[in-house]
Structure 1
Amino acid sequence: MTIQTSLPDPNLVPSWPPVPEPARIAGLGTAVTDHSYSQSDVLDIFGITDPKIRSVFANSAIERRFLSLPPTGADGTPLPEDQEDLLAKHKRNAVDMGIRALRACLADIGAEPADVEHLCCVTSTGFLTPGLSAYIIRDTGMDPRCSRADIVGMGCNAGLNALGPTASWAVANPGRLAVLICSEACSAAYTMDATMRTAVVNSLFGDGAAAIAVIAGDAARTRSTQAARDGSYDTSAALRPRILGFSSYIVTEAIEAMRFDWDSDQNRLSFFLDRDIPYVVGAHAERVVDRLLSDAGLRRSDVRHWLVHSGGKKVIDAVRVNLGLTRHDLRHTTGVLRDYGNLSSGSFLFSLQRLHTEGAVRRSDIGVLMTMGPGSTIETALVQW
């Protein structure tokens, strides 16, 4: 018997070992709560007259946000909400927005909930056990055999944290549909008082959810009747980006600069943002982005599209200056901030949706996705259309 010890003939095998097909973002959907408010609306509703606090709101570069404000009493003033009320608000709004974003995402590719075989849910605005994924699977009639994961408490960077394992699942299961949902009921994480600590947070965040469908391979397995009639999911309606790689960095010396922890004065959880966080993020942005690009043999000048988390005016400006970007490069980031505020983990997906709607993407374009959050952490992903 002869034992073959040499590798296969390269003329017969395209690559050895075979290179798996990268995952791609196939569909996208978003949702918000029912009511939007201007910055002056919020100040007036809560009767805030302190000129310093009003200045924080006025200079936020935010025009409107979608919020779920407390019910009002007979005199028209908002009633107090305790931590139990806020957890109930989180459950109600995060599940509702998550389902609506999911349905919009699936409609984008002609799929149905029964087609989803892996669901990852992200949130940082409340705590549920079981997690969001269990309620969404139950309430949409999704197959109860669907594998699922819940990522809780990572903050604004969590959308890209979750995209990595979601894309890996898709690569390991070619042709099978995975969905990532980021659902943030930021109204359930508010502390309303007259302090400057809460003013920065209260001027910034809004409610919103975003869902993306992720798939690898050319043929999509279908289980729903509609998709089976069509033969496959519709991923040709727009150019869909392939996910090529990730790079992250945690600024350990600034681990307490963004946090959501217990406020004993208010007897509830409260979010804290250090005033220097924009400069911390900006100072480390180059390190993460350049590593992401160098791993792929690229330079910043090769990147045509930048989808950066709408973390706040100062954060966006710090990233723009340190990476040498133009205001046009970050037009969708600032546009989302203006119209929705900071939507936490799903903000960058609202920007991606605007980019696709704009119709400016061309085949082979390179894009960078970038989010920032507690840790202090910077996450990036490289995509190509």
Structure 2
Amino acid sequence: MTARIAAIGTALPPVVEQSALWDGHFRDRLHGSRVAGRIFAGAGVERRHAVVSPLDHDVSSCTTGERMRMYDEHALPLGHEAVTKALASAGLGPADVGQLTVVSCTGYTAPGLDVQLASSLELAPDAQRLLIGHMGCYAALPALSTVADFVTVHRKPAVLLCLELPSLHVQPSTPDAEQVVSHALFSDAATALVVLPDRGGLEVVATGAVTDPSAADLMTWLVTDHGFRMTLSSRVPDVLGKHVRDAVERLLADHGLTVPEVCGWAVHPGGPRIVDTVGHELGLPAEALEASRHVLREHGNCSSPTVLMVLDELLDRVALRPGDPVVAMAFGPGLTLYITLLRAR
């Protein structure tokens, strides 16, 4: 019995151009800072998505309570759309779902988004639910591992939804470079996977992880009285670079594989330097990570959904044959690196 990814569905809020965000909002608030302007221009992002665009509503002075009410308003319809798309692509209905797992670190309410979706989708009353919060950008991969375990044990279909609305956490603009980087990168999205027992295109083979507690302060997501505040050090790519090759080679070796044998790479594009670092440390040709760069360019860093969006883009680009291995990789607070080995079926 294996668990396989059978379908992927993504829902996106309205698009906003990176240049429009800089020209229409951040440039004035940062007093035309040339450094900030270079950060926005060099972020590798051309357009993003936002349920609340700074061009329409500046939430930087909103309280956390006000932001959570906006999350409650926008998360349900976006998540419903993503799950509905994935189920339709898999040829399933809501009544077929044995478990719904929801990942989000950008909003909280109770009853949670998982309960709200169970109601709006009309899942079976005995469908199991799991809500995973505040793990950040890498959360999709440990969540996928948990979903795969459910499918393998219970032999029922499951849905994983990753939904993030970072636009609700825009902070007051300051010249602090880390804050400018956050404002230049993040975007809203919802992506859902349908995972089935022994049916589907990508088998979930194994998951590995590395956490470096000595670098815990380099990436944080702090709850404040005015939303959640990201800290993102420029040292993050360097620290990840120390761990990525050993972590990947160890997971691949457990399954008799080497880096050159991997046929597809779905790497979370936390920023251009992170993508470049992964490519350098693994000795990958530039085209191996083009799916990651494309998602960053067209959608920004959407936190937990992003690696699933890259995987979807990769599957559109690469004609995989049965048995071909694929590696998904994501990073986040901890400092944490997660890797999932998939195999085409």
TM-score range, shorter chain: over 0.9
AA of the residue aligned to 1:149? L
Where in structure 1 are there 5+ consecutive unaligned residues? 1-20, 219-234
* Cα deviation, residue 77, structure 1: 7.5
Are residue 203 (structure 1) and residue 184 (structure 2) matched? yes
Structure 2 equivalent of residue 255 of structure 1: 216
Structure 2 equivalent of residue 193 of structure 1: 173
| Other structure's SS at 1:155 match | coil
- Give the Cα–Cα distance (whole angstroms) in 2 for the partners of residues 316 and 358 of structure 1: 18
Structure 2 equivalent of residue 55 of structure 1: 38
AA of the residue aligned to 1:299? T
Contact 2:10–2:309, Cα closer than 8 Å, also in 1: yes
Matches within 5 A, 1:149-168: 149-168=130-149
Structure 1 equivalent of residue 203 of structure 2: 242
**Residues 71 and 275 of structure 1, relative CA distance in 2, 3 Å threshold:** closer
**Which of 270, 276, 285 is matched with 1:311 structurally?**
270
Question: Matched residues, percent identical?
Answer: 30
CA distances 1:22-62 after superposition (whole Å, capped 9, x unpaired): 211011101111x2112221122323422211111001111
**Residues 195 and 68 of structure 1, relative CA distance in 2, 3 Å threshold:** farther
Given the two structures, how large is their TM-score scaled by the length of structure 2? 0.93
Are residue 331 (structure 1) and residue 295 (structure 2) matched? no
**Which of 68, 87, 109 is matched with 2:68 structurally?**
87
Are residue 131 (structure 1) and residue 112 (structure 2) matched? yes
Are residue 271 (structure 1) and residue 251 (structure 2) matched? no
- Give the Cα–Cα distance (whole angstroms) in 1 for the partners of residues 296 and 148 of structure 2: 27
Structure 1 equivalent of residue 261 of structure 2: 302
AA of the residue aligned to 1:52? V
| Other structure's SS at 2:221 match | strand
Aligned residues: 338
AA of the residue aligned to 2:149? S
- Give the Cα–Cα distance (whole angstroms) in 2 for the partners of residues 44 and 153 of structure 1: 31
Contact 1:371–1:378, Cα closer than 8 Å, also in 2: yes
**Which of 23, 32, 37 is matched with 2:12 structurally?**
32
CA distances 1:242-284 after superposition (whole Å, capped 9, x unpaired): 11111100011011211111457xx443111111111111221
**Which 10-residue stretch deviates more, 93-102 or 40-49?**
40-49
- Give the Cα–Cα distance (whole angstroms) in 1 for the partners of residues 58 and 291 of structure 2: 33
State the structure with bigger RCO (CA 8 A, min sep 6), 1 or 2.
2
Runs of 4+ in 1 over 6 A off after TM superposition: none
* Cα deviation, residue 129, structure 1: 2.2
| Other structure's SS at 2:98 match | strand
- Give the Cα–Cα distance (whole angstroms) in 1 for the partners of residues 189 and 223 of structure 2: 24
Structure 1 equivalent of residue 338 of structure 2: 379
Contact 1:310–1:343, Cα closer than 8 Å, also in 2: no
Structure 1 equivalent of residue 102 of structure 2: 121
- Give the Cα–Cα distance (whole angstroms) in 1 for the partners of residues 78 and 286 of structure 2: 30
**Residues 44 and 146 of structure 1, relative CA distance in 2, 3 Å threshold:** same
AA of the residue aligned to 2:288? D
CA distances 1:66-99 after superposition (whole Å, capped 9, x unpaired): 1133577xxx874642222211222222222211
**Which 10-residue stretch deviates more, 189-198 or 253-262?**
189-198
Contact 2:62–2:227, Cα closer than 8 Å, also in 1: no
AA of the residue aligned to 2:336? T
AA of the residue aligned to 2:218? A
* Cα deviation, residue 354, structure 1: 1.4
**Residues 242 and 255 of structure 1, relative CA distance in 2, 3 Å threshold:** same
Structure 1 equivalent of residue 195 of structure 2: 214
- Give the Cα–Cα distance (whole angstroms) in 2 for the partners of residues 269 and 29 of structure 1: 27
Contact 1:95–1:183, Cα closer than 8 Å, also in 2: no
Where in structure 2 are there 5+ consecutive unaligned residues? none
**Which of 143, 167, 184 is matched with 2:124 structurally?**
143
- Higher share of residues assigned helix: 2
Alignment RMSD (CA, Å): 1.7
- Give the Cα–Cα distance (whole angstroms) in 2 for the partners of residues 179 and 303 of structure 1: 26
* Cα deviation, residue 363, structure 1: 1.9
- Give the Cα–Cα distance (whole angstroms) in 2 for the partners of residues 293 and 359 of structure 1: 20
Q: Which has the larger radius of gyration?
A: 1
